[in-house]
Amino acid sequence: MYLYDQYDQAMVDARVEEFRDQARRRLEGKLSEDQFKPLRLMNGLYLQLHAYMLRVAIPYGTLNGRQMRALADIAETYDRGYGHFTTRQNIQYNWIKLEDAADILADLAEVEMHAIQTSGNCIRNISSDHFAGAAADELVDPRPYAELLRQWSSFHPEFSYLPRKFKIAVIASETDRAAMKLHDIGIRIVSNSEGEPGAAFYVGGGMGRTPMIAPCIREFVPLDRLVTYAEACLRVYNRYGRRDNKYKARIKILVHELGAEEYTRQVEEEFAHLLEQGVEPPIAELDRIRTYFADPDFEDGPKSVDRSDPDFALWVERNTVRHKHDAYVSAVISLKPVGGIPGDASAEQMRLMADLAERYSFDELRVMHTQNIVLPHVRIADLHALWSALDEAGLGAPNLDTIEDIIACPGLDYCSLANARSIPVAQRISERFAAKGRTAELGELKLKISGCINACGHHHAGHIGILGVDRKGVENYQLLLGGSEAQDTALAKITGPGFDEDGIVDAVETAAEVYLREREDGERFLDTYRRIGMTPFKEALYG
Amino acid sequence: MADTGDSDIGGTSPDDVQLRFREDEPVGHAAVTVDAFLDQSNANAVRVEPGDDARELIPHLQRIALVEVNFPAFGDGRGYSSARILREAGYAGELRAVGDVLVDQLAYMRRCGFDAFAPDAALDPNDVEAALARWPHVYQEAADARQPIWAERHA
């Protein structure tokens, strides 16, 4: 994985000192809250319902054991002993004091981490495929391109006061595990007819109150023009994105209002101009970054496991994923224990995951946007030992991509924007299905819950989505069906009138029953929905 | 359309300039709006608002000695693009950030090519010094003379 050199370290250290100075000026009253707010946001510090929340960047979701241990230490020293892994592959702490924030950033800098641009109207932490470098189906490891863009976007002088936040995802396989088309810019590394690698740019996707799937605006940008093209996309947005209404300020609205064709024309014009300006790092820089992502020394070994222990067999079946080397798998550590808070991990669990990564996965971990953790390179021979350690620590839930593997935003339990609680709904749904033993029978069923229209819980992209709204002061939950964030990206549709908290749990069960009744051989929930449409679900829910 | 004869409109005077990083004599009169500038042939000082297209000035850069870029609110970042576009086009005159210009945005403004600052509220000189000395390196090519980190790495 990428390691800082003297330059990267100096920049992160300078940022810590800058923020320390800004926090001091705020506490002394030299900065108003209005002036301080964007500065603290660009260092990941939000003011939530009960306290400050700090969002720490985990670039493209990759970290090592030492970094995971530092995250555990922060949870214990400055928070309440746990952290929350997010849908942007980051971690959030919910109970932070402003006076401690600069010290936390300094602790992070010691392990080559930061909270730079994890919030604010700037280019956010760049996300990627959580199986990058391990996936059997990838063209190349997408992370060097994400790292190149991380450096370009860090402290960008022109693009730090954009109309609104800006999220970039980079993938390099046909299978989309990063919801790439639901980002402001989605980049897929592809190869052209001559076999040369380049980047396809999808611009103007997003969720929130106006979900949109990004159109492809250019099918092939040569790798030695990647930064220049991104710069052109951003400049057009910075100049012409709407600033009169924050709900219409994302780039998806600009692309939609101009039309993809006109937006593309403007980008191409800017691109032609910027090519003359020398903003592109040399290919030697990309080569330098690539060396950090070279394959670890994989060794041949057994390709199968003894499945005589049914609990272990189920976990292997559910939570391990094919690797490009046939003696290895990627193993998913579920942070979705039945009845738990999706994405939460205690300091103790983080330390265990760090130990296991060092012992079994070449000292590498990944944060998934589905709020789980991956050990990307595990020898099949080590799987039983790994599972035993996880199971003992309550981290062995065999539920990847099942109805228990729920994405949920923090909701009204923490978030000042939320209209409804998400966490208790997620807890009750996983408890309900686990108690009835129906999880396995339902197979792949991606359920996603947002506590407000901002859609941090990706409800638009759920096979089943739940959106919490405020209905005359009472929490109300709308049910959505048919979304997907994968390569077959689709936006879910609302079934009809919403439900109260008890009602939504029942409604999910009703929808699941329709699927079980109607499904044909090999169909997932989503496949059945696509074949039979909304009507049978509506009839069962409201009939 | 602004009244081109009214020098009170918008412009700052040299007295309002708190920071200036150039040696030439400042323009002694107020700037006119972009519309007014394009309508008259003799103005040499122009004021760019966030919604203006700075590229409209490019055919006339030879006769411009001062461009003021207004930041009515510091969170509106369009002025950063306006500044860089003018520098990329070869504009060498004074580029003055005016309005809601705060010390925490100063370093980025310098990188985008601003070389004079007329903030609505005076900046603390110590804070200015700290802000301008803050960054030991930079990651990107921009409108200043600094070498990006990638250039230093592969020098």
Helix (H) or strand (E) holding A93: strand A91-96
For A182, which DSSP code? G
Query: Is residue B5 in a domain?
Result: no
Q: Among all residues of chain B, which has the CA nearest to that of A280?
A: B141
Residue B9, CA distances (Å) to A464, B27, B33, B51, B53 in order = 57, 16, 8, 17, 19
pLDDT digits (tens, 9 = 90+) for A252-290: 999 999 999 999 999 999 999 999 999 999 999 999 999
Q: Is A150 helix (H, G, I), strand (E, B) or coil?
A: helix
Q: CB distance A277–B141 less than 8 Å?
A: yes
In 3D, which of A47, A66, A63 has the Cα closest to residue A55? A47
| CA A259 remoteness from chain centre | 28
Query: Which of B104, B137, B140 is opposite residue A10, by nearest beta carbon?
Result: B137
Searching chain B, which residue's CA lies closest to the CA of residue A156? B140
The count of structural domains within chain B is 1
Confidence tier at A426 by pLDDT (50, 70, 90): very high
Instruction: Please tell me the distance from the alpha carbon of residue A182 to that of residue A459, in angstroms, as a whole number.
Output: 12
Backbone angles phi, psi at A95, to 5 degrees: -130, 60
Collapsing DSSP states into helix, strand and coil, what is residue A442? helix
- Point out the residue among A154, A157, A273 whose CB comes nearest to the CB of B112: A157
pLDDT over 60 (residue A190): yes
Query: Which chain A residues are within 8 Å of B107, Cβ to Cβ?
Result: 157
Cβ contact (<8 Å) for A238 and B80? yes
- Pick A6-110's CATH classification: 3.40.190.10, 3.90.480.20, 3.30.360.10, 2.30.30.140: 3.90.480.20
Q: What is the average pLDDT across A112-139?
A: 97
Q: Which residues of A touch B (CB under 8 A)?
A: 5, 7-8, 10-11, 14, 17-18, 21-22, 25, 30-31, 35, 38-39, 121, 151-152, 154-163, 235, 238-239, 243, 273, 277-279, 281-282, 284-285, 288
The reply to whether B4 falls in a domain is no
Contacts of A31 in chain B (CB under 8 A): 104
Average pLDDT, chain A: 96
Q: Which whole number is the average pLDDT over A81-92?
A: 95
For A414-435, what is the mean pLDDT?
Answer: 95
Q: Give ∠ CA A129-A168-A176 in degrees, rounded to 5.
A: 35
Strand residues in A141-248 grouped as ranges (E): 168-171, 185-191, 197-203, 216-222
Residue B66 tokens, joined: 């001062």
- Residue B4 predicted with pLDDT over 50: no
In this predicted structure, the answer to whether residue A88 has a pLDDT above a threshold of 60 is yes
CATH of the domain at B42: 3.40.50
Mean pLDDT of B46-55: 98
- Out of B75, B81, B154, the one facing A158 most closely (by C-beta) is B81
Spell A198-231 as b/e; 16+ CB within 10 A means b. Answer: bbbbbbbbbbbeebbbbbebbeebebebbbbbbb
Contact B75 A278 (CB under 8 A): no
As for the ipTM of the complex, it is 0.94
Query: Which of A8, A30, A158 comes nearest B80 by C-beta?
Result: A158
**What phi, psi does A425 have (nearest 5°)?**
-65, -45
- Is the CB of residue A537 less than 8 Å from the CB of residue A511? yes
In this model, does residue A359 exceed pLDDT 60? Answer: yes
Q: Which residues form the domain of B19?
A: 14-153
Name the burial class of residue A498, with classes exposed (0-12), middle (13-18) and buried (19+) by CB atoms within 10 angstroms of its CB: buried
Residue B30 has pLDDT above 90, yes or no: no
Residues 6+ apart with CB under 8 A from A184: A165, A166, A167, A168, A203, A204, A205, A206, A214, A250, A251, A252
Q: Give the closest of A11, A121, A152 to B137, CB-based.
A: A11
Q: Where are the domains of chain A?
A: 6-110, 134-290, 310-392, 407-542
Query: How many beta-carbon pairs under 8 angstroms link A with B?
Result: 99
Please check whether residue B141 lies inside any domain of the structure. yes
* Fold observed for domain A407-542: Sulfite Reductase Hemoprotein; domain 1 (3.30.413)
pLDDT 10s digits, A295-324: 999 999 999 999 999 999 999 999 999 999
Residue B7 lies in a domain: no
Contacts of A262 (CB under 8 A, 6+ apart): none
Instruction: List pLDDT tens digits, range A52-75.
Output: 999 999 999 999 999 999 999 999
Q: In DSSP terms, which residues pair with B67 in a beta bridge?
A: B46, B95
* SS3 (DSSP) at B15: helix
Answer yes or no: CATH 1.10.730.10 is held by domain A134-290. Answer: no
Quote the CA–CA distance of A130 and B124 in Å, as a whole number: 46
Is the pLDDT assigned to residue B11 strictly greater than 90? no
Looking at the domain assignment, is residue B8 inside a domain?
A: no
- Architecture per CATH, domain A310-392, reads as 2-Layer Sandwich (3.30)
* pLDDT bracket for residue B10 (50, 70, 90): low
